[in-house]
Amino acid sequence: MLKLLKEILRTGEATVKYPFAPMEVCKDFRGKPEHRAEDCIACAACTVACPANAIQMETDTAAGSRTWSINYGRCVFCGRCEESCPTGAIRLSADFELAVGSKADLTRKAVFTLAGCACCGKPFAPAKEVDYVARLLGQTARSEEEAERLRLTVATCPACKRAQDVHQIATMGIARQMDARHSEAGRSVKELETTP
Ligand code: SF4
Ligand code: SF4
């Protein structure tokens, strides 16, 4: 008996008090991903990276909004969302208690406003993402004019950018044709002048 008591004292507690006391987890534990909407720019990088399709994005251009959502019921706690997030808006936490009373409670959502295109005014991308990219590009600009040009490019929707490119290419083509015609006309005048 004494021997058994000694063994128990030497071993200490073999079980944990959870759920009556908080469960301690290791430093790199991969628990529930926590999303901070205030830091999120709705860029959709986590949506693309998520292998379980737990994170979804829905863009409603008519309402001018993009809805970010996560379904914890699908999450496999791989951490790809945290790795891909450019702003640190989503991080795995130490929380592993996911039990809920209803399936709908496993989903969390955040709604973001879309920015209107600087050219046509149609909503096309999350305003926070446009600001973020414009700020980043602005840091690389060598002058105020260049920063403004970059900001305008970022704030223009893909359809307007395509239309502007087509217009620019067409203008360059016309200018090149006109140059060619002028040089041809110049040559003809010179030939006439030198003809006896
Ligand atoms: S931890 Fe993995 S599965 Fe869960 S939301 Fe993030 S990327 Fe998706
Ligand atoms: S990657 Fe980060 S910033 Fe982009 S949508 Fe996901 S949580 Fe938001």
pLDDT at position 132, please?
Answer: 96
pLDDT at position 185, please?
Answer: 67
Domain span at residue 71 reads 18-160
The model's pLDDT over 89-135, given as tens digits with 9 standing for 90+, comes to 999 999 999 999 999 999 999 999 999 999 999 999 999 999 999 99
Q: Which of 81, 83, 91, 106 to mutate to test the pocket of ligand 1 (most atoms within 8 A of CB)?
A: 81
Domain assignment of residue 192, yes or no: no
Residues 6 or more apart whose CB falls under 8 angstroms from that of 30 comprise 77, 78, 79, 92
Kindly give the parts of the chain with pLDDT less than 70: 185-186, 188-190, 192-196
67 C-beta closer than 6 A to ligand 2:
no
Q: Report the number of distinct structural domains present in the chain.
A: 1
Domain assignment of residue 71, yes or no: yes
Task: Output the domain CATH number for residue 59.
Answer: 3.30.70.20
Q: Given the structure tokens 């046509």, which residue do they identify?
A: 120
Closest Cα to atom 4 of ligand 2: 43
**DSSP letters of the chain?**
-HHHHHHHHHH---S--TTSSPPP--TT---PEEE-TTT-----HHHHH-TT--EEEEEETTTTEEEEEEETTT-----HHHHH-SS--EEE-S------SSGGGGEEEEEEEEEEPTTT--EEEEHHHHHHHHHHHHHH-SSHHHHHHHHHHHTS-HHHHHHHHHHHHHHHHHHHHHHHHHHHHHHHHHHHHH--
pLDDT at position 188, please?
Answer: 67
Domain assignment of residue 154, yes or no: yes
Q: Which atom of ligand 2 is nearest to the CA of 39?
A: 3
pLDDT at position 170, please?
Answer: 78
pLDDT at position 14, please?
Answer: 81
Pick from 188, 190, 35, 59: nearest CA to 112: 59
What pTM, to 2 d.p., does this model score? 0.80
Domain assignment of residue 125, yes or no: yes
